[in-house]
Structure 1
Amino acid sequence: MNKTVSQDDQLIEEDRPLYVAHKRVYPQSVRGTFRTIKWRLMVVCLGIYYLLPFVRWHRGLGAPDQAVLLDLPNRRFYFFFIELWPQELYYFTGLLVLAAIALFLMNALGGRIWCGYLCPQTAWTDLFYAVERWVEGDRRERLRAAARPMTMGRAAKRVLKHAVWLMIAWWTGGAWVLYFADAQTLVRDLATFQAPAIAYIWIGILTASTYLLAGYMREQVCVYMCPWPRIQAALTDEWALNVTYKYDRGEQRCSLKKSLDLRARGERVGDCIDCSQCAAVCPTGIDIRNGAQLGCIQCGLCIDACDAVMKKVGRKTRLIGYDNDINIRRRIDGKSELFKPVRPRTIVYASLIAVVCAVMLYALLSRTLLDLSVLHDRNPVAVKLSDGSIRNGYTVRLLNKRGFDRVVAIDIDGPPEASVHVVGVDSVTVDRPMIVLARDATTELRVLVTAPDNDKSERSMLVRFRVTDIGLGEVASATDHFVLP
């Protein structure tokens, strides 16, 4: 069948822009279950972020007493009773893996829970919106003001709003740098302009980024910049619960007065009265009634708005709620709703989280605070002495993770009748040198192992270096090879 296109239709198609122009979003305030959850989570999360650097944790004489500290100059990370060294980077890898799997599990259970409730962009944007409503009023007042010429009163409100935004953004950037130095000392140095320049630079960078992202870009970060909406769309399945408009109840939608007239005549109409409150409260400016969309962050504010309207008109709540298309089709077919939070996908994710947690916990509980690494000389590999014995040289690195000095003894197991000598260290006995390890430090030694050339059959023998703490009895070991020339 041939389809004819008129000249006017062709002009319309040619003039249609490729991208829709961005429209400023003016979300309306709302009260309800999900709004309360978001407020409480925001207070908890931001409270932890802003106040945690000031929490103290005693670690002994000479050790920092800040509970959470990333000490880059000394290459240490402190988290309450845990102290991590650069050699233990695998713990951070485990945390990243754990966070990714937890994100997948949240998506499988309730869609974009992270985006709607826990994401930093969401938390700070909510805070900036609250300031905007406090200064300039709610949605209607801001819409009316935007349509009118600028006045002195409106300009004063705008200056106040941006001043409060900048204060929040400045404290956000300032709180971040407090995790990298002693918070109390750094605050005093910042106030007296004695802090290092790098601190002021990073505070400026983070202040500007917070101000721009939460104050101006807002929903554009979620729609255009963030990769998670596109990733989670590929990870979700048909059983995942998402904020959904239940069109089986809502359609056909019409105004309240018209719906009452149609119902009085016995005609079927939906519960949706087309008030558009769900779209008015949406922080990304979408209409959830149009189905699943990339811009929906699953915050649940539209649920609160719709429930409030349903209560006023005397209809059942949760016309918008956490649901899926399977249940919508089941209700249309007259079947009961079915939810499957426990299914192979969620079991796999939960099992992976348990395994990663178990491995990290075991590694943390079983780790030693005395470490040893050995590196054999490359050139020459072995030296034959004048008496016919063979000598191999090694670079031995000892790591004392405790907060006090300790004395250790070095032993070897390997070539028969072998002796060990630490260059530059006077040992009590040649067979077992004693070394003093400084607290919370790494000590590098030059170790020489000498053995008679008795066995001609093997050109390389395994040698084990063993370090024993004389006082505590802690032992660390490492293996290498003793090579014959």
Structure 2
Amino acid sequence: MLRANVEPEIRRIDMPDGSIVQQGAAQPAKVPLYESHKTIHPKAVKGLYRRLKTVTFSVLLALFFIAPWIRWERGPDAPAQAVLFDLTTPRFFLFWIEIWPQEIYYLTGLLIVAALGLFLATALAGRVWCGFACPHTVWTDLFVWIERIFEGDRAERIRMEKQPWTARKALRKAGKHAGWLTLSLVTGFGFLAYFTDAPALLHDLFTFQASYEAVSFFAIFVGMTYVMAGWAREQMCMYMCPWPRIQTAMLDEHSLVVTYQADRGDNRGPKRKSQNWDERRAQGFGDCIDCGQCVQVCPMGIDVRTGEQADCINCGLCVDACDSIMIQQGLPTRLIAFDSLAAQDTRASGKTYQWRLIRPRIIVYALLMLVIGGAMAWSFALRPSLNITVLRDRAPLFVTLSDGSIRNAYTFKVANKTRQDRSYTLSVAGLPNAEIKVIGEAEDEAAAHTATISAQPDSVATYRVYVTAPRTAVSATSLPLTFQLSDTGTNEKNSHDSVFMGPAN
């Protein structure tokens, strides 16, 4: 008698902990849907790239914390802080440069140039910005340094995590978090000092006289620094920052990235002390002794030997770790190195590789930066010290006076960007025999075609202006009109085009 080959019924069961179990003839192991985050404890390392990171971090931190304290005299009733993003005025001050809200396009252009610079740096050397200059990387490195002071290096921290709580462990943890909180407080003040006067802010915080807004933003900056640099760390780069996914489009085969020389290092395997290198190579092993130092020093916890990865921040610490091991083993360095994929492929075929600095994308990024940056610099150098804004009344469009002449009303604004009182002469062009009158200003019968207005230092003066023209001069329902403004002291001029409305003929 033949037995039918019947597949056993398999049932899917959702467990309370979120895992899935399949019941049937075979019972596979439980596979969790979610895995708890594994804390990464990067090991301290010495070498070229570690020194470069330390120097870069030191310079950037010094600039960040010192800049708000630099004084810059701008005259009476003007802020004396060299770098200030004053949201109450509002003005952006950068030494001798003052940006008004109407000139926000300068900041837009600056952001575009910075983005292109980031693209250029990525095309040249991968995520070198992330590894050496990103604020998150800088502060995370500081927090790890504080952690290392109180809890020791990687191996000691891992052992302490597995040990039960004792008074000594609690004190070391408390010291670490106190250091983190202190750095977060200093950082929060540093951020806030760019938006208000630094000495006044420090006094207000210590005397509990700071405004609700200042205290709120200070708490936000402190909290975000503590959470991001102390707890999130590499998770910020892996799951929250979009740049790792975007930067792959900026790379090409000639970009310098951290690479593992697989043709030289594989096959990998531990090396016994009694084993010499001739024996290892006879057994098919490469130069990599699988010590894992490159993984232990990585702040992202990745293994660069498995190939190119978007999460690698190109910090070069694995290069320092591997070079130190190669030196100990008496082997050439650069088993892990900054290299290009094209170089690896070329050397694998036995040819000589010459790194190409000038490439199409490099030229495009550099030219765009040059053009946009040059246009911004040219525009800024030629920008006037006075700006005009004119709004014509829409209701009514015009008024017919008793003598038959037509009058239009306008709201006229002049921005005086200097630190002195200014007097201006206002006139109109494009409309024959037009007369101008400024409400609230004394009329000059001898100069009916012009008016005199003034503006206080670093302010916007608003006026109500009437323009009147004879009926015979209004030949259409809409005529072009130009307001002309001349500084009586410096003879600087500016103009603004508008229209003059009249009745249908």
TM-score (norm 2): 0.91
How many angstroms does 1:410 deviate by?
Answer: 0.5
Equivalences for 1:6-405 in 2 at 5 Å? 11-12=27-28, 15-257=30-272, 260-261=275-276, 263-264=278-279, 267=282, 269-405=285-421
Asked if structure 1 preserves the Cα contact closer than 8 Å seen for 2:41 and 2:296, the reply is: yes
How many angstroms does 1:356 deviate by?
Answer: 1.1
TM-aligned CA distance change 1:265 to 1:31, over 3 Å: closer
TM-aligned CA distance change 1:473 to 1:92, over 3 Å: same
Asked if structure 2 preserves the Cα contact closer than 8 Å seen for 1:427 and 1:434, the reply is: no
Q: In structure 1, what residue type is equivalent to 2:218?
A: I
Separation in 2 of the partners of 1:19 and 1:290?
Answer: 24
| Alignment of 1:421 onto 2:437 | yes
Q: Equivalent residue for 2:17?
A: none
How many angstroms does 1:18 deviate by?
Answer: 4.2
How many angstroms does 1:16 deviate by?
Answer: 3.0
How many angstroms does 1:45 deviate by?
Answer: 1.1
Over aligned residues, Cα RMSD in angstroms?
Answer: 2.1
TM-aligned CA distance change 1:281 to 1:480, over 3 Å: same
| Alignment of 1:430 onto 2:448 | yes
Asked if structure 1 preserves the Cα contact closer than 8 Å seen for 2:280 and 2:286, the reply is: no
How many angstroms does 1:21 deviate by?
Answer: 3.5
SS at 2:194 equivalent = helix
TM-aligned CA distance change 1:266 to 1:289, over 3 Å: closer
Q: 1:378-416: CA deviations, max 9, x gaps?
A: 111122211121111111111111111111110111211
Q: Which runs of 4+ in 1 moved over 6 A?
A: 7-10
Separation in 1 of the partners of 2:114 and 2:152?
Answer: 38
Q: In structure 1, what residue type is equivalent to 2:348?
A: I
TM-aligned CA distance change 1:278 to 1:81, over 3 Å: same
Unaligned runs of 5+ in 2: 1-6, 9-22
TM-aligned CA distance change 1:291 to 1:9, over 3 Å: farther
Separation in 2 of the partners of 1:356 and 1:412?
Answer: 35
Separation in 1 of the partners of 2:473 and 2:489?
Answer: 37
Moved more, 145-154 or 443-452: 145-154
How many angstroms does 1:166 deviate by?
Answer: 0.1
TM-aligned CA distance change 1:421 to 1:51, over 3 Å: same
How many angstroms does 1:8 deviate by?
Answer: 11
SS at 1:180 equivalent = coil
Query: In percent, how many aligned pairs have the same letter?
Result: 45
TM-aligned CA distance change 1:417 to 1:41, over 3 Å: same
Alignment partner for residue 441 of structure 1, among 459, 465, 468?
459
SS at 2:177 equivalent = helix
Separation in 2 of the partners of 1:9 and 1:203?
Answer: 61
Separation in 2 of the partners of 1:264 and 1:214?
Answer: 46
Q: 1:210-232: CA deviations, max 9, x gaps?
A: 11111111111111111111111
Separation in 1 of the partners of 2:231 and 2:88?
Answer: 36
Asked if structure 1 preserves the Cα contact closer than 8 Å seen for 2:431 and 2:473, the reply is: no
SS at 2:450 equivalent = coil
Unaligned runs of 5+ in 1: none
SS at 2:472 equivalent = coil
Q: 1:77-104: CA deviations, max 9, x gaps?
A: 1111110111001011111211211111
Asked if structure 2 preserves the Cα contact closer than 8 Å seen for 1:259 and 1:269, the reply is: no
Asked if structure 2 preserves the Cα contact closer than 8 Å seen for 1:374 and 1:480, the reply is: yes
Separation in 1 of the partners of 2:274 and 2:474?
Answer: 101
Q: Equivalent residue for 2:471?
A: 453
Separation in 2 of the partners of 1:135 and 1:85?
Answer: 47
SS at 1:15 equivalent = coil
How many angstroms does 1:285 deviate by?
Answer: 1.1
Q: Equivalent residue for 2:494?
A: 476
Q: In structure 1, what residue type is equivalent to 2:295?
A: A
Separation in 2 of the partners of 1:192 and 1:99?
Answer: 39
SS at 2:409 equivalent = strand
How many angstroms does 1:475 deviate by?
Answer: 0.8
Separation in 2 of the partners of 1:53 and 1:455?
Answer: 58
Asked if structure 2 preserves the Cα contact closer than 8 Å seen for 1:259 and 1:273, the reply is: no
